[in-house]
Structure 1
Amino acid sequence: MLFHQDANFENLIIHHVGNKSQDEYFTLSDVEVDVASDEVLTSLLMQYFMKPFGKQAEVYRFYHPNDDLEFNEVYSYSKRFFEGQLSFIEYSKSVTKYLFEVSEHPKIKSGEVYVVALENVQLEGEDHRAIGIFKSENKEAYLKVYPQADGLGVNYEEQAININKLDKGVVIVNTESEEGFKVLCLDQTNGSEAVYWKDDFLKLRVRNDNFQQTGNLMKVYKNFVNDKLEEVFELDKADKIDLLNRSMNYFKTKEEFNEEEFNTEVIANPDAASLFKDYKTAFEKEFDSPFQSNFDIAGNAVKKMASSYKSVIKLDKNFHIYVHGKREYLEKGYDEDKGMNYYKLFFENEAE
């Protein structure tokens, strides 16, 4: 997750890019926007650019089909900027002209391109410099009510930008440059033209380091237990929680993930382990993100996933049962006289 609350603008410039296939062109600015002189404008722009990325969990890396990162234009420009080999204005013009070159689908809309340099952007607990490239394509009309001598008047402004609706954006965080940086990407476009931003312009693929391996495996296992396993095995809510608790305990107490060990200690059923292997394979193919049989467990990824592992059984509107372990001390039954289900709990001491 990306935090921008302590971030500051170092630079900001605005260009305009059209659709190449429609014989439109691009317009480049030579002067940066002075955001330091207006605190309100600075705050609004920071909200517009960065707030949408607070909910972006997926982290990407730049890549190139021939495995030479230097052939990825945006990566190359960004690396040279961070290393001081390219000025901010030169950088912003280069990426804007390249964006124009890949804007060839007839449905791609023209729009403003905002390029920003930031400091104190926090990602995964560490502060970094970052570059943001954002594009606004959709405009709206806004009413403005204002006081006048005999009451209130109303006016409007066409072709205005809604700061709560960022169309496209990418934040390139200055860390792990040799591996393709850490990159967050956003695109609100749907349709055949949508791929040009992430695939043609940026050329991104999901990061696959220990953090990603840990988080993705925990996510896939959780979905497997909740959605797939009961298609083959009879499971009640307590059984699912027990399986999730065992997996969470595994990731919290182990330093390294071992597939064979996980299958034995957590899944503890050869048929279920085989089913999970097929489930993982489907994920790997769909997201082009292969799992390793062994990898170091990333504690920050475990902590991040912990909140999504639910360990509560909700019973009508009367009771909640929180299950932290010892599945054998929890029994489920049906009372014929009352015509209701029940849970029986076994314990030694009742807390004050």
Structure 2
Amino acid sequence: MDISSTKVSKIIVHRVGNKLRDEGFYLSPVECNRSNTLDDLLLSSLLSPVIRRGEEFFLTHESDISLNTIHHYAKKLFSDPNQFKQCSEAIAKHLYGSSGHPNIGGGEFIIILFDDVRVDDVSLQALGLFRVESKDDYLDVGEEGGVIQVIEKQGVSLDKVQKGAIVLSDSHKVFVIDNLGHKTKYWIENFLKASPVHTPKKFAQVAGTLIKAISNKVETPGNAIEFAKHIEEHLSESESLSLSDLRNISKDYIDDEKLDELVNGAHLKYGITLDDNAPIESKYLSKYAKDVVTKARISEGVSLLVSNPETKISSIEVKVTKGGFRAVVDFERKGA
């Protein structure tokens, strides 16, 4: 995907509150004024992070994809950009209807139409949806009555997209960022109504989360180190790891019932089911399993992180003392 030639075509901002608190919504009567500087900021700080770091989903509906609200209005404005304002209002009302959780904060809703997003040299349109739920404090300097003053203001940080989605004009695919998803999952599940794309990287992410969860449930730090070693050896010696392989590695450290609970938890979190014998590529899984190999749990709330790739923890022995605990850690260094 290439956004080097992408241009901002239209932008409008609505204000959408929390429906549960009857905060209502305000629909902007006109599109935003734009400048070259503003367009560049929107491309680099909103579009680019979602395209490059967002997770891939596809829009869904229980019976007919044309009934998915985002798909319906995105398709409508892609066909006729003159309907951008009307479609943006409908999408904002849909967001309000999806904002019924008490943890959802009201805020600005930025809608942008982009032109010339290139996928395999094909020029596409893209619809950007960005939700602002919190603002940062910043300082400005201004002059009042001949005196230069420091003025405290609030604004939207360009460092981190809070909630963003990019819908492409040629498919049901949508790129999503939800950095506040720990509060509520409404952005993906209720507003976008999207399901994750089942890619090798996504399977590896689910498996990596599962490996980390298993490691956290292993009773002793020493056993957790052994478990991590077995995972690392398998990934280095084999091109893939399956759920069945993971069960075999885990059987000496965690019981089947607890493992099934963790597998179900990973499924609920990502909406992806791992088949027992489906191969998960080691080259992708190694990235997500890295924390288990390089980070060792010493005690509750105390962990040891090894940042030197040439050094590994070989064993940990923890003993309870009168005032706390004592940990003896052995390290192995490659080439030593």
Specify the alignment match of 2:260 in structure 1. Answer: 277
Give, in whole Å, the separation in 2 of the partners of 1:333 and 1:74: 54
Q: 1:76 to 1:293 in 2, by over 3 A?
A: farther
- State the TM-score, normalized to the length of structure 2: 0.66
Alignment of 1:242 onto 2:226: yes
Larger Rg: 1
Q: Could you list the per-position Cα deviations for residues 75-127 of structure 1 after superposition, in whole angstroms to 9, with x for gaps in the alignment? A: 2444566xxx51445356414323224524688746453314266699xxxx9
Kept in 2, the 8 Å contact 1:116–1:131? The answer is: yes
Range moving further from structure 2, 102-111 or 213-222? 102-111
Kept in 1, the 8 Å contact 2:211–2:289? The answer is: no
Deviation of 1:174 after TM superposition, in Å, equals 3.8
**How large is the RMSD of aligned CA atoms in angstroms?**
5.0
Kept in 1, the 8 Å contact 2:132–2:156? The answer is: no
Specify the alignment match of 1:218 in structure 2. Answer: 208
Specify the alignment match of 1:184 in structure 2. Answer: 176
Pick from 12, 15, 28 the counterpart of residue 14 of structure 1: 12
Give, in whole Å, the separation in 1 of the partners of 2:282 and 2:34: 41
Kept in 1, the 8 Å contact 2:224–2:296? The answer is: no
SS where residue 215 of structure 1 aligns? helix
Give, in whole Å, the separation in 1 of the partners of 2:242 and 2:95: 43
The amino acid of 2:149's aligned partner reads V
- State the TM-score, normalized to the length of structure 1: 0.64
Give, in whole Å, the separation in 1 of the partners of 2:117 and 2:142: 38
Pick from 137, 149, 155 the counterpart of residue 154 of structure 1: 149
SS where residue 295 of structure 1 aligns? coil
Which runs of 5 or more residues in structure 2 are unaligned?
320-324
Which runs of 5 or more residues in structure 1 are unaligned?
none
Give, in whole Å, the separation in 1 of the partners of 2:8 and 2:68: 25
Give, in whole Å, the separation in 1 of the partners of 2:253 and 2:24: 61
SS where residue 291 of structure 2 aligns? coil
Deviation of 1:148 after TM superposition, in Å, equals 9.1
Range moving further from structure 2, 195-204 or 47-56? 47-56
Kept in 2, the 8 Å contact 1:256–1:294? The answer is: no
1:1-352 aligned at under 5 Å gives the runs: 8-17=6-15, 26-29=27-30, 33-36=33-36, 38=37, 41-46=38-43, 48-50=45-47, 53=50, 58-66=55-63, 68-78=64-74, 86-91=79-84, 93-104=86-97, 109=106, 111-117=108-114, 130-136=126-132, 144-146=140-142, 152-154=147-149, 161-164=155-158, 169-172=163-166, 174=168, 177=171, 180-186=172-178, 188=180, 197-225=187-215, 227-230=216-219, 235-237=220-222, 239-251=223-235, 253-264=237-248, 266-267=249-250, 269=252, 272-285=255-268, 288-298=271-281, 301-311=284-294, 322-323=311-312, 342=328, 351=336
Deviation of 1:203 after TM superposition, in Å, equals 1.3
Kept in 1, the 8 Å contact 2:164–2:178? The answer is: yes
Deviation of 1:185 after TM superposition, in Å, equals 3.3
Q: 1:75 to 1:244 in 2, by over 3 A?
A: farther
Give, in whole Å, the separation in 2 of the partners of 1:273 and 1:224: 11
Give, in whole Å, the separation in 2 of the partners of 1:255 and 1:76: 42
Give, in whole Å, the separation in 1 of the partners of 2:278 and 2:206: 12
The amino acid of 2:250's aligned partner reads I
**Identity within the alignment, %:** 13
Q: 1:269 to 1:308 in 2, by over 3 A?
A: closer
SS where residue 290 of structure 1 aligns? coil
Q: 1:42 to 1:298 in 2, by over 3 A?
A: farther
Aligned length: 314
Q: 1:86 to 1:301 in 2, by over 3 A?
A: farther
